[in-house]
Structure 1
Amino acid sequence: MIPFEQVNDDYCDCADGSDEPGTSACPRGRFYCTNLGFRPHYIPSSRVNDGICDCCDASDEYNSHARCQNTCWNLGQKERAYVEGQMKTLDEGLRLKQQLIEEGVLLWREKQAQLRELQQAAEDLQIKLEERRWRKNEANRLKEQAFKAQQEARDRALRHQNNTITSLFQLLDSNKDGSISVNEVKAKVVLVHDEQQLLSEDEAMALLGGNHQIDLTKFQYTLWDILTRGDSVKIKDVHDVPDGLVSEGPHVKAADRAAEWEASSLKKVEEAYETVNMEISDLQKKLAVDYGTDWEFLFLNGQCYKLKVYEYVYTLCPFNQVTQKSTSGTEVSLGIWGMWAGPPKNQYNQMVYENGEPCWQGGSRSTTVTLTCGTETALRSVKEPSKCQYIMDFQTPVACQPVLKQRGVHSEL
């Protein structure tokens, strides 16, 4: 307690300097600038009446030669305009954010419905796949069965043909010497269209493959082949010489076509099943990402934002990656989506993208993206404060926080 007349008497009576707010007598004294129309604040008492205007209302130079003008109103007007613009931006940003939240909720529900549909489709395809596999196995079994039956028929035909060849050979071998001669051919073989005309010796030799006589083995590849065609010569008084081996029957062809069709159908179902499972996996990965408490950041998924800084073009694809592309066309990864890294009160304030391409001095490139409030979504700035460590300013309405409005503007503004 000191007498009032000792206040501002240019002598420091109180240790905290509170008795000399309007003089420079106390080293730790403070002078209060009222600054009506702007923002009030304190200055050290040593600056009072020092010839320099520290308070915008000029109250600190009440007893000096300085000619200070009151600039508080102009300063306050500029700050009021700035704050008003910030408040309008915030209000508009919050309005847009609410729209994006509503869209995010709808989009989330659509993604969930799409996932359920894909899972149901996968279940249906799984049933169809099992059915197709059974049908393919059954078709292959029938094909093998038909082929086996045909093979058995071929074997029987082959045995019958061998017997027939031997019988005809013996029929033509009149003297039973184990060979057929030109004379024996002339005696037993006639023309199909003129049985009365005898074969000449040259014609008979031609039927024997140019030989005067042939054994059973050569008979199979010369005269026998000609007789089975039945279009030029035949054996006198013998009809219906059998054809060669049994050809592929219609039932074998049908079984083969059925097996091929079942295999093709199974492949299509397998491809469809694989595609659906890939879509399910991709969608589950997307839905596993933290898109905010109200899914307000969901609209950023699948979007990319570019910014050109000098000779580089930077691309931010939220929840995916960050890249840097030079004018030469070389593209470098600056990080893959990692996590949210904001403070506990606002964890959605920062994104971290890690494990980019290796840096020449060791380690890998990484990017920290700070989200700021704005009325549009855009990449605003990119900096590299340290080698291979990048920071980005990403503006978007969903970064606007209602708590900012509490900071407001002082009533005296």
Structure 2
Amino acid sequence: MRVYIIVAAVFWCGYVDSRKVRGISSSYKRFYRERKSFLCIDGSRMIPFEQVNDDYCDCEDGSDEPGTSACPHGRFYCTNLGFRPHYIPSSRVNDGICDCCDASDEYNSHTRCQNTCWNLGQRERAYVEGQMRTLDEGLRLKQQLIEEGVLLWREKQAQLRELQQVAEDLQVKLEEHRRKKHEADRLKEQTLKALEAGNGGLIRHQNSSVTSIFHLLDTNKDGSLTVDEIKAKVVLVHDEQRVLSEGEALALLDRGHRMDLSKFQSTLWDVLTRGDTVKIKDTQGAPGSLSSEDPHLKAADRAAEWEATNLKKVEEAYETVNMEISDLQKKLAIDYGTDWEFLFLNGQCYKLKVYEYTYTLCPFNQVTQKSTAGVEVSLGMWGMWTGKPKNHYSQMVYENGEPCWQGGSRSTTQGTRSRATTLHMQARLQILL
């Protein structure tokens, strides 16, 4: 029987203690165990325990009145079971306004406060769960973009290696075509020099046929040479400016007025081949001249032109491939994040209309502003990431835009969380960050 009385007494004492000391958190309860005296938490003074929560402020830090409004610097702890606990100024205790969702701050007022902690807690938990789902979705999307970024990075690296190999192959072809063009130009030059040296040297150098020279002299193409044709095409070696006389022309025709191919081969051909008295007249490209009609020179010209055309094509291809390599190297040199998670932004553009202007942001490229009148202004080209060290990829800078009318080039600072992007881009960047 005595055991039960002792247990009841202990229970009653605990009940009285919890009723007397209000507004404290569980971490501070050790300071408020009922004893003969109470030491202010700041250590400023010792008071009888009966003076705790007696509605009179004894401690400078207000620690003796956690459950009343007596101390100007005191704090009241709202337990708010089922919701977030928090402190309120002790001046709000029993002031007729419900500050704690569990109504514990109005324990001695006429205000009837309802305990709303459970409902608030439910909304809080639903919000947190939504945030967790968003975070999970963001992490999933970020991982997906990282994987895509790594894949794109590898593809671009492979593309760069392929282009570099193509450039090496084109370099070999370029050297080969340059060599061939040089040889064709040299052959053309040699042919032209042989023409200038005289028809005898030309015939020997080019191994020209009797027929080709006969047709060269046969201007009217009637199958025979006449006095007029000889005078028009043949000159003296030592006096090229003088036109042959009719007698001289007749002598070359073996005193006949006409000479066919067979007779030409046995007479005049030998004279022209020696090249010591007469030679074929060369008017340097005039119609009917040796330079313009010689088949060997024409062949040399065609070969030189062909090699020049091929060389130009290879040079253009080589230049195009090198431009692609340079462009790809510039793209690969950009910082796309620690895991290339921002690589997906390269090549995309986002538009936002604000009043009469349409802003276009092309990440890692440029930012432009276009008015309703159609005037487009560059607000800057891609510069760098300029976020704080803890969040380096939170801010972009675009520099060297078109000059302002006051002077100085335009620039744009683009926060990856700002309103200057579309909601789609903003959401994706927020998830990444």
TM exceeding 0.5 = yes
Matched, 1:341 2:376: no
TM value normalised by structure 1: 0.71
- Displacement of 1:145 in angstroms is 1.4
Show the counterpart of 1:400.
432
Distance 1:29 1:255, change over 3 A: same
Aligned counterparts of 1:355 and 1:37: Cα–Cα separation in 2: 56
Aligned counterparts of 1:382 and 1:85: Cα–Cα separation in 2: 26
Matched, 1:240 2:318: no
Which residue identity does 1:381 align to in structure 2? Answer: R
- Displacement of 1:274 in angstroms is 0.6
SS of the counterpart of 1:159? Answer: strand
Distance 1:17 1:299, change over 3 A: same
Show the counterpart of 2:319.
274
Aligned counterparts of 2:74 and 2:126: Cα–Cα separation in 1: 34
Show the counterpart of 2:114.
69
- Displacement of 1:10 in angstroms is 0.7
Matched, 1:314 2:363: no
Aligned counterparts of 2:379 and 2:110: Cα–Cα separation in 1: 60
Show the counterpart of 1:166.
244
- Displacement of 1:273 in angstroms is 0.8
> What does residue range 32-111 of structure 1 map to in structure 2 within 5 Å?
32-111=77-156
Question: Between Structure 1 and Structure 2, which shows a larger proportion of helix residues?
Answer: 2
Distance 1:96 1:361, change over 3 A: same
The superposition leaves residues 155-194 of structure 1 with CA deviations (integer Å, 9 ceiling, x where unpaired) of: 996425989963425799xxxxxxxxxxxxxxxxxxxxxx
Provide the aligned length of Structure 1 versus Structure 2. Answer: 326
Aligned counterparts of 2:332 and 2:54: Cα–Cα separation in 1: 73
SS of the counterpart of 1:87? Answer: helix
Distance 1:371 1:87, change over 3 A: farther
Aligned counterparts of 1:6 and 1:270: Cα–Cα separation in 2: 99
Higher relative contact order (CA 8 A, sep 6+): 1
| 8 Å Cα contact 1:381-1:393 kept in structure 2 | no
Matched, 1:29 2:29: no
Show the counterpart of 2:419.
381
Aligned counterparts of 1:274 and 1:46: Cα–Cα separation in 2: 81
Question: Between Structure 1 and Structure 2, which shows a larger proportion of strand residues?
Answer: 1
Show the counterpart of 1:283.
328
The superposition leaves residues 308-337 of structure 1 with CA deviations (integer Å, 9 ceiling, x where unpaired) of: 233322222111122222222222222222
- Displacement of 1:342 in angstroms is 2.2
Which residue identity does 2:58 align to in structure 1? Answer: D
Distance 1:14 1:363, change over 3 A: farther
- Which one is further off, 104-113 or 356-365? 356-365
Which residue identity does 2:235 align to in structure 1? Answer: R
Distance 1:365 1:52, change over 3 A: farther
Distance 1:393 1:110, change over 3 A: closer
- Displacement of 1:396 in angstroms is 1.6
- Displacement of 1:106 in angstroms is 1.4
| 8 Å Cα contact 2:383-2:399 kept in structure 1 | yes
- Displacement of 1:140 in angstroms is 0.7
Show the counterpart of 1:121.
166
Distance 1:252 1:317, change over 3 A: same
The superposition leaves residues 122-153 of structure 1 with CA deviations (integer Å, 9 ceiling, x where unpaired) of: 12211211111111111011111122223344
| 8 Å Cα contact 1:335-1:365 kept in structure 2 | yes
Q: Percent identity?
A: 76
SS of the counterpart of 1:395? Answer: helix
5+ residue gaps, structure 1, are 173-233, 373-379, 384-391, 402-413
- Displacement of 1:397 in angstroms is 5.6
5+ residue gaps, structure 2, are 1-38, 40-46, 202-232, 261-267, 269-279, 281-287
